[in-house]
């Protein structure tokens, strides 16, 4: 996989999220991603960035345009230094939430992207990486 462009955006408050979503849209449009796939990617990003703010106390997002076998895609990496997730299997279950939400954030975001990777160390923080390919189903 080749990284064609890379930038970082810190997320410390809710208003940062709007800028972040707009920037993803620009990148997705740049590689010619369809509107439906763009919407799925941004919705997934919205869920993950909310988790980062709510449970991780904010963090840094990395936005990349990547390419694999000449298929372009957008890769997003969310890193926080929060308390981490103690039981990832449980956190990935539909309907499970430690807050008062619907518990769709993590499993829902996973369904909306092509690749999803979650790494978390209790006490160290959480890193979530997602990729949506231009023509990925």
Partner 1 sequence: MERIPILKMGPFLLVTIQVDLYDRLALTLENDLINMVSKTEAKGVLIDISAVSIVDSFMGRILGNIASMSKIMDATTVVVGMQPAVAITLVELGLTLSGVYTALDVEQGMELLRDKIGHLEKDEEGLYDSFI
Binding region for partner 1 (CB under 8 A):
14-15, 17-18, 21-22, 25, 35-36, 38-40, 42-43, 46-47, 50, 94, 101-102, 104-105, 107-108, 111-112
Q: Shortest Cβ distance from residue 123 to partner 1 (Å)?
A: 26
> For residues 50 and 119, which CB has a smaller minimum distance to partner 1 in the complex?
50
Q: Shortest Cβ distance from residue 66 to partner 1 (Å)?
A: 22
Q: Shortest Cβ distance from residue 33 to partner 1 (Å)?
A: 11
Q: How many CB atoms lie within 10 A of CB 11?
A: 22
Contact 100, 75 (CB under 8 A): no
Contact 41, 5 (CB under 8 A): no
Query: How far is 37 from 57, CA to CA, in rounded Å?
Result: 29
Pairing mode of beta strands 71-80, 125-133 = antiparallel
Q: What angle do CA 108, 59, 45 make, to 5 degrees?
A: 25
Q: Shortest Cβ distance from residue 67 to partner 1 (Å)?
A: 24
> For residues 25 and 75, which CB has a smaller minimum distance to partner 1 in the complex?
25
> For residues 83 and 108, which CB has a smaller minimum distance to partner 1 in the complex?
108
């Amino acid at each position: 996989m080749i990284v064609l462009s890379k930038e970082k955006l810190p997320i410390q408050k809710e208003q940062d999220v709007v800028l972040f979503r707009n920037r993803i849209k620009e990148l997705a449009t740049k590689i010619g991603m369809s509107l439906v796939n763009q919407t799925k990617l941004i919705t997934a990003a919205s869920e993950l960035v909310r988790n980062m703010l709510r449970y991780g106390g904010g963090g840094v997002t990395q936005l990349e345009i990547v390419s694999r076998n000449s298929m372009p895609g957008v890769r997003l990496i969310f890193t926080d230094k929060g308390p981490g997730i103690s039981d990832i299997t449980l956190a990935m279950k539909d309907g499970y939430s430690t807050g008062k939400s619907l518990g769709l954030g993590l499993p829902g975001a996973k369904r909306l992207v092509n690749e999803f990777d979650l790494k978390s160390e209790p006490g160290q923080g959480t890193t979530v990486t997602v990729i949506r390919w231009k023509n990925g189903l």
